[in-house]
A and B are shown apart, each in its own frame.
Chain A
C-alpha cells in the first residue's frame, strides 16, 4: 500500500466524497497498513499501533494533517513485538495489545508515555493464546474477547475462535468461554467491537488469509454469554446482496443504529442500518 493515512469522513458521506481531514506525513509517525484503530470517546483520542516501530500512537481526537501523536508507548520495557491491533478501555484506563509472536496479551496504562512496562500480561499454555491477532474489551461486563485465526495444522475444516476472558485476567489463566467450531463459521477474526448494553460482540471474519476473495466471509454477532460451537446470532454475509467482498474492520454507531464496515477488496467503507443489535 503506497500511501499511509488516517482519513476522516462525515458520517453521512456517500460515494466519492473527500475526507474532512487526514492524518499523514513524517511527523505523524505512521507506517503502512494499520490493522486497528480505536476512538476513545471519553478522552477524545485516537489510538493506533505502528508495528514496524513497535509503538502505540495516541493522537488527539481532532488531529489533522501532519500532526504528531500526543503520547507514544515505545521502548525496551514495553515488550511490544510487532503490535498489530489494540483496544482501549477508557473506563479503567487501560490499553490492550495482542502479541501474536509472544502468544500473550499486554495491558498498558492508558496514560502511559514512553518506555512503559505492561501492568499485566496474560500468557501461558492455559490461555490458549496461539497467534492472538485481535481483541476487544467490554468494560461494562469486565470481559476481554480475543480472536484467533485457524491453525494450518489444526482442525478440518480450519477453524478460528473467540476466547472470552475476564478483563483483569493475568498470567496463565484459561478463558472463561470459547466460541469455536464448524457452526461458528469462524476461520479467522479481524477487528471486533462490543455493544455493552446488549452484551454482544460484533466481529469481522474475512476468511482464509491466502485467498484474495475468500468464500464464507461475514460480519457476525455473538452474545458474550455464548460458549462452544455456536453460530452467530446475526450475520452480514459478503456477497452480491451486501456488496461486501472482504470485511476486515467493524465499528459501531449506536446513536444511529448502524454498523460501519471496512472492506479491503473494495477499498471502501460501508454503513449498514442494523437496529437488531442495538
Chain B
C-alpha cells in the first residue's frame, strides 16, 4: 500500500508519524479485498490527513529494501533521520555525524571471491603449471598433473605469490624460463613493472628482478637463443624488445611501432623461431601517432615508444593476427595478416605455436574457443580446427599454452575459474583430460577486472560495471 500524507503542521512531526503508524497498522489488519482503490479518510483540526490509499502495481522484484544493521528500525525514526539528512547535505555537519558516516560499513558488496585465471604457462622440467590471477592479484603454481575432483571446491596450489611486496596486480602475460623455472609476469597498465620471481620464491615477497616497462604491456614472448624478450603494448600499438635479463631502467633494444605496422590494441605474441617470424593478435582499436620531437614524446631512453596520439585519427579495425619478421623494428608493415569473418576471431587474446606441426593457436576470448591456424595462413581463412563447446569447458579463454614435452594443450578460462588441459590436436567439443579449478563447480564468475567507474541504470535498477 502507498500512503499519501498531508501534514498541515510541520512542527508536529512526531505526533504525525505516530498517526501514520497507527493508520498503517489498522490497514494491515484489514482484509486486502475490503480496501477500495481510493479509500479516503479525513480528519480536521490541524492534524495529519490520510488523503488516499492506492494499491501498487505488481512488482517483479524485491518488495522491500534491506537496510544495514546500523539503520533505525522504526518508521518514525527513519523518516526523521531522512529529514535531518536532507537539511544537513548543504550544511556543515557536526563532527559526530561525520564520524557516523566514516564508521559506516557497506550495505552490499558484489565480489567474486575466487581466482580468475588470465594467463598460463607450463614448466615441463619441474612438472608444474603456473597461472596468473587477475581477480585476487596472485600467481598460483600447481602440480602439472593436478585434477580437481568434481565435488571438490578447488585445488590448493603448491605455491602462491601475492601481496603488496610482489607488485602483482592485473597480470595478463606469463613466461617460464626453461633453464631455471624463473617466472616472468607482465603487469598491465596499473603497475608499469614486469616482475620476475625465482622458482623458490613464495608468499608476499619482492620480485627477484623488476623491469620498468612502457604503459599497457600485455603479451610476452622470449627468444632463448638471442636472449631477447618481446612485450606487446596496448596503448602505444607497439612491440618493445628488451634483453631477457634487462632490469629496472634498462632501455629496450628494439621497437616495432608506426602507422604501417597495423598493430591495433595488440594482445598476445608468439615467436616462430624456425621460420623467424612473430605473430601478434590485435583487438582492433587503432589510432595514429603524432610525429613529435624526441624530447616531447618519449622518455630519455632509446627505443621507447611514442605515446603521443594524433587527435581524431581513431578507428575500429576488425580483429587480426599480424605477422612480422622476427627482428622487425621501426614502422615495418606485416608480412601477412589473418583477418576476416571466416577466421571466427572475436577478441583474439593469447597465442601459442606448434613449430613442429606449423600450427598457430589462438585463445579466442569472446568466441569461447581455441582456434588453430596454419602458421602460413593469410587473409580471410577459416581455422584448421576449433576447440569449442560445453563439454570442452572453454569459457572466455585468455591464456593458451602448448606443452610439447607432454603433448598437451592448456587453456586458462577467465570465464569459469578453471584451467583445462587437452591432448595436443584436440578439436570440437572435446572434454578436458584434467581440470584445475580455483572455485566450486558452476560458481558464477563475474569477470570484474579493474572496475574503474560505475553507473546506475535507474530504469532497470541495475549497477553498470565496466572493466
Residues of A within 8 A of B345 (CB): 26
Given A52-B265, A262-B451, A262-B465, is A14 in contact with B108 using a C-beta cutoff of 8 Å? yes
> Residue-by-residue, is A259-277 near B (CB-CB < 8 Å gives 1, otherwise 0)?
0111110111111111111
Query: Would A52 and B463 count as touching, CB distance under 8 A?
Result: no
Query: Would B465 and A6 count as touching, CB distance under 8 A?
Result: yes
Query: Would A26 and B265 count as touching, CB distance under 8 A?
Result: no
Residues of B within 8 A of A212 (CB): 164, 167, 169, 190-191
Residues 238 to 262 of chain A near chain B (Cβ within 8 Å): 241-244, 248-253, 255-258, 260-262
Q: Is B32 an interface residue (CB 8 A)?
A: no
Interface of A is mostly: loop
Query: Would B167 and A234 count as touching, CB distance under 8 A?
Result: no
Q: B170's contact among A1, A39, A80, A252, by CB below 8 Å, is which?
A: A1
Query: Would B309 and A101 count as touching, CB distance under 8 A?
Result: yes
Chain A nearest CB from B348 CB (Å) reads 9
By beta carbon, the residue of chain B nearest A46 is B464
Query: Would A249 and B452 count as touching, CB distance under 8 A?
Result: yes
Q: A253's contact among B118, B444, B456, by CB below 8 Å, is which?
A: B456
Query: Would B466 and A37 count as touching, CB distance under 8 A?
Result: yes
Query: Would B318 and A18 count as touching, CB distance under 8 A?
Result: no
By beta carbon, the residue of chain B nearest A221 is B89
Given A13-B108, A271-B107, is A251 in contact with B455 using a C-beta cutoff of 8 Å? yes
By beta carbon, the residue of chain A nearest B167 is A212
Residues 98 to 140 of chain B near chain A (Cβ within 8 Å): 98, 101-114, 118-119, 134-136
Residues of A within 8 A of B312 (CB): 54, 75-81, 115
Q: Is B20 an interface residue (CB 8 A)?
A: no
A55–B265 CA distance with the chains assembled, in angstroms:
14
By beta carbon, the residue of chain B nearest A20 is B462
Residues of A within 8 A of B398 (CB): 2-3
Residues of A within 8 A of B39 (CB): none
Given A2-B349, A2-B414, A6-B464, is A14 in contact with B110 using a C-beta cutoff of 8 Å? yes
In this complex, how many residues of chain B approach chain A with their Cβ under 8 Å: the count is 104
Query: Would B106 and A52 count as touching, CB distance under 8 A?
Result: no
Residues of B within 8 A of A91 (CB): none
Residues 107 to 127 of chain A near chain B (Cβ within 8 Å): 115
Residues 277 to 326 of chain B near chain A (Cβ within 8 Å): 283-287, 308-309, 311-316, 318-319
A30–B318 CA distance with the chains assembled, in angstroms:
12
Query: Would A55 and B462 count as touching, CB distance under 8 A?
Result: no
Query: Would A270 and B108 count as touching, CB distance under 8 A?
Result: yes
Q: Is B453 an interface residue (CB 8 A)?
A: yes
> Residue-by-residue, is B158-181 near A (CB-CB < 8 Å gives 1, otherwise 0)?
000000100101101000000000
By beta carbon, the residue of chain A nearest B100 is A276
Query: Would A273 and B467 count as touching, CB distance under 8 A?
Result: no
Query: Would B464 and A37 count as touching, CB distance under 8 A?
Result: yes
Further pairs besides A3-B415, A61-B460: 7, Cβ < 8 Å: A2-B365, A25-B366, A33-B450, A39-B458, A54-B311, A190-B452, A200-B89
- Please give me the 3 A-B residue pairs with the lowest Cβ-Cβ distance, nearest first: A54-B314, A52-B285, A268-B111
